[in-house]
Amino acid sequence: MIRQKWTRAWCCVFLCIISISLSANPVYSAPVKSATKPGVVAQGALTVTANTAVLMDVATGDVLFDKQAHKRRPPASTTKIMTAILGFELGRSDEVVTVSPKAAAVGEATLHLDPGEKITLYELISGALIRSGNDACVAIAEHIAGTEEQFVELMNRKAFALGAQDTNFENTNGLPRKEHYTTAYDLALMARHGLQIPQFASITRQKETEIHFLEPDVFMDVRNTNKLLWNYSYADGVKTGTTTAAGKCLVASATKEGRQLLVVLLNAPDRFGDAKKVLEWGFANTETVRLANVGQVIAEFPSVTKSVPVFINEPIDVSLSKVERQKLQTRVVWEKTAKLPVRAGERLGRLEVWLGERKLNSVPLISEDEVLGNRSLKRLFSTGKGNERE
């Protein structure tokens, strides 16, 4: 059973890496790390107590606020975001987990698991995200991958596949390790991915719940460590973390008028105050602009005999500061010369989105019609004797 689960885990991560590398959607690709780009507010314009911070639009992945977002920091229990993601992606929620002595022996914040207890994977993930159970994380890892060490390797591969290039996990729960680190930006990428998993999003928005153990048949009341759920009406996730080395950390999401933003704060003495301030600033001062819809004809490709309409097969949304909106521009770039044939569905170029001098996005331009080559055209318009005999 362990071997089967381990094989399934490796296959899932391999497919994830392949799918991301082949994806043409730049929204999900990791941008080149650089200084603050146009449209992103740096720390001077919005002050927070956090050592590092980032504000991201969940729908587009665009960064709206950046304070040393790529600085490596210990993440404490925000590590459990990745543990939960793999728990849901590599296991079934209703699988029954038997707690090992190793998992039961883990200390600090726990679910007080005992060796031999039976509990579903879903309840363990709930305990890890809401109660921040360190023991629950080890139990999840052993169930999915056989050992915590093998599961941690999967965590690192998954993080890299999501674009988190400055992350290295050494355990499943965030207990202090010298080489256990991530960044505010990387955590935002991971949390954004997690929020696309319905069960993950549902659990992290709960203020409190009951954890049901199967053997023995008992219930445990647990309360979410994320106090933002109580003092900010738009809050709907995600995870806290605290250690001496990491300081107070928070990954928090909020949804207002259908728009969801995500803030990450590492080593933030006033993490809940920071989160509310940054999220409110984001809702008030930034917006998401729809530049083109799926299937919208963007331009006409100038082929030899006639122009060919080209369209996009994905929407183009950009999130940015409201004052920067007038700087947005789109540019059509042809990648094919004006020669035949042109096939229906062929990529002929790309539509680029620019904000000032910086390119924000690029999507393929697809041919709507087919235009045949010269030989095909001759056959179409020829009145040869072979056709006359028919």
DSSP for 317-346, written as a single string: EEEEEGGGGGGEEEEEEE-S-S-S-B-TT-
Helices (H) and strands (E) in the chain — how many of each? 12, 17
Residue 320's φ and ψ, nearest 5 degrees, are -165, 170
Alpha-carbon distance of 321 to 325, in angstroms, equals: 7
Structure tokens at 149: 């060490």
As a residue count, the chain comes to 390
The closest of 77, 49, 69 to 273, measured between CA atoms, is: 49
Whether 20 and 237 have beta carbons less than 8 Å apart is answered as no
Alpha-carbon distance of 389 to 307, in angstroms, equals: 35
Which residues are CB-contacts of 379 (< 8 A; sequence separation ≥ 6)?
none
Structure tokens at 298: 């963007």
Task: Establish how many alpha carbons lie within 13 A of residue 225's alpha carbon, considering only the half-sphere containing its beta carbon.
Answer: 23
Active site members: 77, 80, 132
Reduce the DSSP state of residue 256 to 3 states and report it.
strand
Alpha-carbon distance of 315 to 137, in angstroms, equals: 38
